[in-house]
Structure 1
Amino acid sequence: MRYFQLRAFDAVAREGSFTKAASLLGLTQPAITTQIRNLEDDCKQALFIRTNDGVTLTDAARPLFELTRQMFATEEQIEDMVSRATMFRHGSLKLAADGPQVVLQVVAAFRAHYPGIEISVSFGSQREVWDDLLAYRVDAAVIGNAKSDPRVALVPVARQDMRVLVPEGHPLATASSVSLADLAAYPLIRREAGSNTQRLVDDALRHAKVSPPTAMKLGSREGVLEAVRQGLGIGFVLEREIPDGERSIAIPVEELRGCNIDSLACLHTQRKRGIVQAFLDVASASARL
């Protein structure tokens, strides 16, 4: 069993893909495949279940992944210690978020202090971002209304209202604000399962005992915005997501004021890395609540 076999195993387990692991480590996919095959030969058992959608750990491999995470987390801490000695002039951070507005606000504040740090940000639904965080695929994440979890540290960074988006000429287009009851008769364009926005809206509608008809379900924020502009129904967006331009109007919803709190989340084990803790400190200092 060799270091590079364990490094390849850890990368595949984190990324859920041989191709993504190869990209992460700067290697070819055949090289990663060879390392994993050799490690499985040494362990005398399969470590991954291969499917068309990617790979997942076998039950026997999960304890090994916990150990490799400890091993490489310690290695990352050593790298951070070296980075601290040069005031973070070099290094990298991988982030995930369920929307671009808040995370890029924090990134801008961080880059003002540490311009030499390379930062990458991936976007997905709240569920996808949470899974990436727990699987160590990212160092930290910005999530709306993140659930409490003993493994995760949360730093609130922003609070937002929800707005209902209606097309131009809609009967409610001139309203200064609306209640959920006002929306009961209008077809709703819904977001995909795992959407923080849709979860907030569904909880509020259920509490208000309001059940608007469903016009359609779309898998992206951009899809909802365009569907509203085309007059296919009404939709919901957080206030920082209100689109520029004409063809739609965003109206405050009385029951959904201040309903969304965006937090920077990271695993407690990752806070030992100086660069991650520095990012949390900047996020806390730049919070807009």
Structure 2
Amino acid sequence: MRYVQLRAFHHVAMAGGFSKAAQALHLTQPAISDQVRRLEEEYDVALFSRSHRQVVLTAAGRRLLALTHRLFGAEAEALDMLQEERSLRSGALRIVADSVHHVLDVLTAFRERHPGIQISISRGNTGSVVDTLIGYDAEVGVLGELADDRPFEVLPLNVSPIIAFAARSHPAAGRKSLSLEELEAWPLVLREPGSRTRQLLEQRAAERGVALHCAVEAEGREAVRAIVAAGGGIGFVSAAEFGDDDPALVRLPLDGPPLAMQEKLICLHERRNSKTIKAFFDMARATRT
């Protein structure tokens, strides 16, 4: 028994005839007929009933077809797996994120699994992350909120409250927490208007009738941290992004119901089946469990 004989039998059985099987395998009909004949002669078994010019499986042929279904099904799965592995050995993945902190564990695991993929990360806020993905200037986005998720594939990452933070030398640094009303008395360092952190903070302040004083508006989280550390005012960030590695800064929880930031991993819905994008989303799901 040879592989080519089983393959010929399988395609004749599936196609319902020798000529169609020959077309599918890009061979001549006599070649296909010869392979099936050799298989039948070698094991002294009839696999097809050829009466009345029709090709009909015998009982033995039906049993063999059940086996070749598994054989060639496994072969197809193996081919798909190998092709997918080859496609992920090289290439690029562009990520635009309001904060990369929320996917650091995903990035580490993805790089270990697919070291040939070149990853680049750019910074953005909620608005620019969406615009960058729609413009096909990045494959994957990380952001706090998504007002309209219809064109996107969305994977929730984590929920983290917004906190205030200040320089250790700031007069408020010794406080255990701050209320929005108390913030009226202090100069604040806020992100650009497209920042979801700023939007949530200003929305809550408006609901409470509190007027916040933006002393400095800075683009990007790192710029805010640098200005706050220099004594420029009080800043705001999600607790997950604050970290405790900067001795010059202290965290100040906000009183009242928490202002929760729901971080999400997104991509354009139409690109969700891209092997690289899908692999990154699968890795993100795996690291959450």
- Compute the TM-score of the two structures, normalised by the length of structure 1: 0.65
CA pair 255-83 structure 1, distance change in 2 beyond 3 A: farther
Q: Distance in 1 between the 2:214 and 2:94 partners?
A: 37
Q: Distance in 2 between the 1:230 and 1:119 partners?
A: 33
- Count residues with an aligned counterpart: 209
Letter in structure 2 aligned against 1:278: A
CA pair 85-284 structure 1, distance change in 2 beyond 3 A: closer
How far the C-alpha of 1:257 sits from its partner, in A, is: 3.1
How far the C-alpha of 1:274 sits from its partner, in A, is: 2.2
How far the C-alpha of 1:117 sits from its partner, in A, is: 2.0
Is the contact made by 2:200 and 2:259 (CA closer than 8 Å) also made in structure 1?
no
Letter in structure 1 aligned against 2:102: V
Is the contact made by 2:88 and 2:276 (CA closer than 8 Å) also made in structure 1?
yes
CA pair 105-168 structure 1, distance change in 2 beyond 3 A: same
- SS state of the match for residue 272, structure 2? helix
Is the contact made by 1:162 and 1:238 (CA closer than 8 Å) also made in structure 2?
yes
CA pair 82-94 structure 1, distance change in 2 beyond 3 A: farther
Is the contact made by 1:156 and 1:284 (CA closer than 8 Å) also made in structure 2?
no
Q: Distance in 2 between the 1:218 and 1:194 partners?
A: 11
Q: Distance in 2 between the 1:148 and 1:168 partners?
A: 39
Give per-residue Cα distances to partners, 1:135-187, cap 9 Å, x unaligned. 11111111111223211111011222211112224343222222222322112
The gaps in structure 1 that reach 5 residues or longer are 1-79
CA pair 103-256 structure 1, distance change in 2 beyond 3 A: farther
Letter in structure 1 aligned against 2:269: H
- SS state of the match for residue 161, structure 1? strand
Is the contact made by 2:142 and 2:266 (CA closer than 8 Å) also made in structure 1?
yes
**Which residue is equivalent to 2:271?**
270
CA pair 266-188 structure 1, distance change in 2 beyond 3 A: same
**Which residue is equivalent to 2:74?**
none
Is the contact made by 1:159 and 1:258 (CA closer than 8 Å) also made in structure 2?
no
**Which residue is equivalent to 1:124?**
124
Give per-residue Cα distances to partners, 1:3-32, cap 9 Å, x unaligned. xxxxxxxxxxxxxxxxxxxxxxxxxxxxxx
**Which residue is equivalent to 2:251?**
250
**Which residue is equivalent to 1:70?**
none
Q: Distance in 2 between the 1:152 and 1:168 partners?
A: 41
Letter in structure 2 aligned against 1:271: R
What is the CA RMSD across the aligned residues, in angstroms? 2.4
Q: Distance in 1 between the 2:81 and 2:256 partners?
A: 47
Is the contact made by 1:81 and 1:274 (CA closer than 8 Å) also made in structure 2?
no
**Which residue is equivalent to 1:134?**
134
How far the C-alpha of 1:267 sits from its partner, in A, is: 0.9
How far the C-alpha of 1:83 sits from its partner, in A, is: 4.7
Q: Distance in 2 between the 1:273 and 1:255 partners?
A: 43
Is the contact made by 2:98 and 2:126 (CA closer than 8 Å) also made in structure 1?
yes
Q: Distance in 1 between the 2:120 and 2:226 partners?
A: 27
- Compute the TM-score of the two structures, normalised by the length of structure 2: 0.65
**Which residue is equivalent to 1:26?**
none
Letter in structure 2 aligned against 1:253: L
Give per-residue Cα distances to partners, 1:179-214, cap 9 Å, x unaligned. 222322112122112112211211221222211222
Which residues in structure 2 correspond to 1:151-166 (within 5 Å)? 151-166=151-166
Q: Distance in 2 between the 1:256 and 1:90 partners?
A: 47
